[in-house]
């Protein structure tokens, strides 16, 4: 039974998208897509419960057995990703943005929901499939729909950002495709487990090393690893706020899974981290991301841009966990996927609330808003504290395990740098909090008319803010699952 | 492997790499958005050709099993050497992805032209600098 519903995880949103196009009724599409996403979330949770403790569920598409046929295969790693994407999608979809994205007129809004559903189905597909070329197809489905979603932001620069994102994303996608091609050339198969079993990576085999290089660079572009992050700040700050919340919470997370899967499952930790020593590149880049992107965030005057740069820095923490290549560090990186999704998704939803009521999220426009919108601002403070890594929030959980993993590896300096970089987060979060609560509004910008955000907006933002505290206190379903996933990855399984 | 051998045996790959770099160079160096899209297309085409090259089996024929009952086993038996059809099938999908990407990129370029009044990246950036 559970094998049968496994495939629905991808098929439901994929089929729901054309339904939205055909029905054309914005209100119906909104509720319908919410229902579909809720169903996907329920399936993902059922899968996660089922596979926890080392189970695997496999589905053969069209009845063709792997390695010839495409296999959907779910273990703890995939189920964790599916649960992450669908839970974030559910929260974002329940956010009532009062009129949809700025550039989409009422009569076209059904297309917006269709594209959103396609994006979700692409992301879920990447996480669920066990076939290398199938990953490429889903990667492009999710990327193409993200370009569209980004371009719907109100400002003209949204379209320009979407174009940059498209160019970068396509180059990354082609690199990924070439890497898969080289792997196929070396092994004669596209099934991920089959590739892993047949591939004997060695430094003398230049084809394999090139495949690894292409895959890592290609995925790094989509993941926005420093210094390939250039598309991200623009895309996140000009996209419609709901889209920013969704993409920041899910898109880069799925790419991270892809990177971990390529490094640990296909090439194997011994080759990548002992023979090739990829950490010699990954570790410095992660640390640079933590400092330079956090540093850039401090100087931003637009709240969305500030959060976007902070995202680049947070991706640095994740890749840092990856480069430790031990269970604690990798689990720290993986748990940070969920934790960062919760806090950054929540913060971008807060931005959406502020945009709706204040009309701008320029730092000067937010002066004194803390008194006018106390609940919204409080959610922002919780998310901000979590970004810094204050105990009792999810950010602390991630950093605790990251630092433990780094220390296990004997990299004391890196551990110190993680803590120091948190101070930068303190500066940029502190700057926003100071403006919200302590600065007097400018004479030219009266804020007396500003009221608290409506419940349909406030509730989803607060769900994530509450989750940031809840999962900061109980870590069984976040760190517990991530630990299991990390051990599975290190053993070369998926 | 010495250089002449690398050039003669792997000439198709050198060609592909050259084509790919031409595409990438256009994407980076040209300011015109349409030319960027063209560069992206050349870049993608190189990757598609890579798969097609890989599918070729020396002396292999098109992977169509010849004949039905009329031709008998003598003509269409198991001794026929075929090229690998799988990469071709994969590339059908990749071409569709490429078409979708191009269409979307051109649509965005039209939108940008509408908003900025230009298809040149440097002019658009200058416009943004001037208008905030």
Per-residue pLDDT of A361-399, as tens digits, reads 888 888 888 888 999 999 999 999 999 999 999 999 999
* Chain A neighbors of B101, CB-CB under 8 A: 140, 144, 166, 170
Interface touch B87/A144, C-beta < 8 Å:
no
Mutation for B interface: A157, A159, A214, most B CBs within 10 A: A159
Least CA distance to B103: which residue of chain A?
A144
Interface touch A174/B51, C-beta < 8 Å:
no
The domain in which residue A385 lies consists of 2-490
Q: How many CB atoms lie within 10 A of CB A353?
A: 26
Confidence tier at A49 by pLDDT (50, 70, 90) = very high
Mutation for B interface: A134, A158, A181, most B CBs within 10 A: A181
Nearest to A156 among B104, B109, B116 (CB): B116
| Separation between Cα atoms, residue B49 and residue B59, nearest integer Å | 19
Per-residue pLDDT of A19-34, as tens digits, reads 999 998 888 999 999 9
* Chain A neighbors of B44, CB-CB under 8 A: 170, 174
Q: How many CB atoms lie within 10 A of CB B107?
A: 16
Name the CATH architecture for the domain at B3-131: Orthogonal Bundle (1.10)
The domain limits of chain B are 3-131
Radius of gyration of chain A (CA): 21
Interface touch B108/A136, C-beta < 8 Å:
no
Contact criterion met (CB below 8 Å) for A139 and A228: no
Q: How many domains does chain A have?
A: 1
Per-residue pLDDT of B69-109, as tens digits, reads 555 444 445 678 888 889 999 999 999 999 999 999 999 99
* Chain B neighbors of A134, CB-CB under 8 A: none
ipTM of this model? 0.91
Cβ burial A102-130 (10 Å sphere, 16+ → b, else e) = ebbeeeebbbbbbbbbbbbbbbbbbbbbb
Least CA distance to B39: which residue of chain A?
A167
Asked if residue B123 has pLDDT above 80, the reply is yes
Mean of pLDDT values over A56-70: 88
User: For A59, phi and psi rounded to 5 degrees?
Assistant: -130, 130
Per-residue pLDDT of A281-290, as tens digits, reads 999 999 999 9
CB contacts < 8 A (A, B): 69
**DSSP of A184-203:** HHHHS--BHHHHHHH----T
Least CA distance to B87: which residue of chain A?
A181
Does B33 contact chain A (CB < 8 Å)? Answer: yes
Asked if residue B15 has pLDDT above 80, the reply is yes
Contact criterion met (CB below 8 Å) for A196 and A268: yes
Per-residue pLDDT of A419-433, as tens digits, reads 999 999 999 999 999
């Amino acid at each position: 039974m559970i094998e049968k519903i496994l495939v629905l995880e991808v098929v439901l949103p994929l089929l729901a998208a054309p339904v939205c196009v055909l029905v054309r009724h914005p209100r119906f599409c909104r509720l319908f897509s919410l229902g579909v996403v809720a169903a996907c979330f329920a399936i993902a949770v059922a899968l996660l419960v089922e596979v926890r403790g080392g189970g695997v569920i496999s589905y053969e598409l069209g009845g063709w057995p792997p390695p010839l046929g495409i296999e959907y295969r779910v273990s703890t790693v995939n189920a964790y990703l599916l649960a992450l994407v669908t839970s974030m999608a559910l929260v974002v979809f329940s956010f009532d943005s009062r009129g949809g994205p700025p550039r989409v007129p009422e009569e076209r809004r059904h297309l917006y929901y269709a594209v959103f559903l396609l994006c979700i189905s692409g992301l879920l597909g990447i996480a669920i499939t066990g076939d290398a070329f199938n990953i490429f197809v889903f990667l492009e489905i999710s990327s193409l729909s993200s370009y569209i979603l980004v371009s719907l932001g109100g400002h003209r620069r949204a379209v320009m950002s979407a174009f940059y994102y498209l160019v970068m994303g396509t180059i990354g996608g082609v690199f990924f495709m070439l890497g898969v091609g080289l792997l196929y050339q070396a092994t004669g198969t596209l099934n991920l487990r089959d590739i892993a079993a047949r591939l004997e990576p060695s430094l003398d085999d230049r084809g394999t090393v090139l495949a690894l290089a292409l895959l890592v660079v290609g995925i790094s572009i989509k993941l926005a690893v420093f210094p390939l992050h250039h598309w991200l700040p623009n895309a996140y700050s000009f996209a419609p706020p709901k889209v920013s919340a969704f993409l920041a919470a899910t898109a880069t997370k799925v790419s991270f899974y892809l990177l971990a899967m390529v490094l640990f499952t296909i090439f194997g930790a011994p080759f990548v981290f002992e023979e090739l020593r990829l950490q010699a590149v990954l570790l410095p880049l992660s640390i640079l991301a933590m400092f330079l992107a956090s540093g850039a965030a401090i100087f931003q005057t637009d709240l969305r841009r500030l959060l976007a740069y902070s995202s680049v820095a947070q991706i640095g923490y994740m890749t840092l966990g990856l480069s430790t290549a031990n269970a604690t560090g990798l689990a720290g990186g993986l748990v940070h996927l969920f934790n960062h999704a919760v806090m950054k998704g929540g913060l971008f939803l807060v931005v959406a609330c502020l945009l709706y009521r204040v009309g701008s999220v320029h730092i000067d426009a937010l002066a004194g808003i803390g008194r006018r919108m106390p609940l919204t601002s409080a959610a922002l403070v919780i998310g901000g504290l979590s970004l810094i890594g204050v105990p009792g929030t999810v950010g602390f959980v991630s950093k605790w395990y990251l630092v433990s993993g780094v220390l296990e590896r004997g990299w004391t300096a890196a551990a110190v740098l993680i803590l120091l970089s948190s101070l930068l987060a303190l500066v940029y979060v502190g700057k926003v909090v100071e403006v919200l609560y302590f600065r007097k509004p400018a004479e030219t910008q009266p804020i007396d008319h500003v009221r608290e955000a409506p419940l349909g907006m406030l509730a989803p933002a607060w769900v994530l803010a509450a989750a940031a505290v809840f999962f900061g206190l109980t870590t069984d379903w976040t760190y517990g699952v991530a630990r299991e996933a990390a051990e599975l990855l290190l053993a070369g399984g998926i | 492997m010495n250089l002449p051998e690398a050039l003669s045996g792997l000439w198709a790959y050198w060609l592909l790499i050259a084509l790919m770099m031409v595409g990438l160079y256009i994407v980076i160096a040209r300011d015109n958005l349409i030319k960027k899209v063209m560069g992206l297309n050349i870049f993608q085409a190189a990757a598609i050709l890579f798969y097609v090259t890989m599918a070729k089996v020396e002396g292999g024929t098109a992977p169509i099993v010849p004949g039905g009952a009329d031709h008998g086993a003598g003509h269409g038996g198991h001794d026929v050497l075929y090229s690998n059809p799988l990469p071709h099938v994969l590339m059908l999908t990749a071409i569709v992805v490429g078409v979708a990407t191009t269409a979307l990129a051109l649509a965005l370029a039209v939108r940008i032209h509408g908003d900025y009044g230009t298809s040149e990246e440097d002019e658009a950036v200058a416009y943004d600098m001037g208008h905030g």
